[in-house]
Every structure is written in structure tokens, then in C-alpha cells.
Amino acid sequence: MLLITCPWCGPRAESEFHCGGEADIARPLETEKLSDEAWGDYLFMRKNPRGVHREQWVHNQGCRRWFMAERDTVTYEFLSYSKFEAKAAADGTGA
């Protein structure tokens, strides 16, 4: 069993979490102006790298909060965790 560390609840079993996919994907601002190809790329195309990768995770059977994790896709080892609030405060968005 894999242990994932929720930034709020601490280490828990992987069965309590759900991966939300690749992190740091920004939604296009003017979606009505996108071509079908560009919209499809935003919705479906992901990097899927071999090695260190940033992902979004939700603690769906715990506090139900989203957080970011850096994980090695080869070894499944989680390298770091961060809250979304910390990123928003750092870039000045305040979200």
C-alpha cells in the first residue's frame, strides 16, 4: 500500500485519495475563440512524462481538500506536497 501525505491530515492510505491529473494547466481565458483543435488539446493532451511529475490530488475520503504533489512516475515515490493557497499567495493572486 502507498502512503500519501495530505498537507492537512498527514499520512493516509492511497485508497483515501484521487488523482486529478497533471498540475499547472491553465484554462484558456477566451474559450469561445479557440479552434476545435486547440480546445481538444487543452482538454485531452497531457505530457505523461517518465520521471518527476507535478499532479493535483484530492483527499476525497478525508478533508476533501485539493493539493499538489510532486511524484516520480517510475518509482511512485512522492517527493513533495504543497497546498494551492501557498502557490496563490506566492504569485500574488490571493486565490
pLDDT tens-digit map of 3-29: 999 999 999 999 999 999 999 888 899
- What pLDDT is stored for residue 93 in this prediction? 45
pLDDT tens-digit map of 17-72: 999 999 988 889 998 999 999 999 999 998 888 999 999 999 999 999 999 999 99
| Other CB atoms within 10 A of residue 17 CB | 19
Distance of CA 32 to the CA centre of its chain: 25
| pTM as predicted | 0.78
Task: Kindly report the backbone phi and psi dihedral angles of residue 18, in degrees, each rounded to the nearest multiple of 5, phi listed first.
Answer: -135, 135
| Other CB atoms within 10 A of residue 4 CB | 20
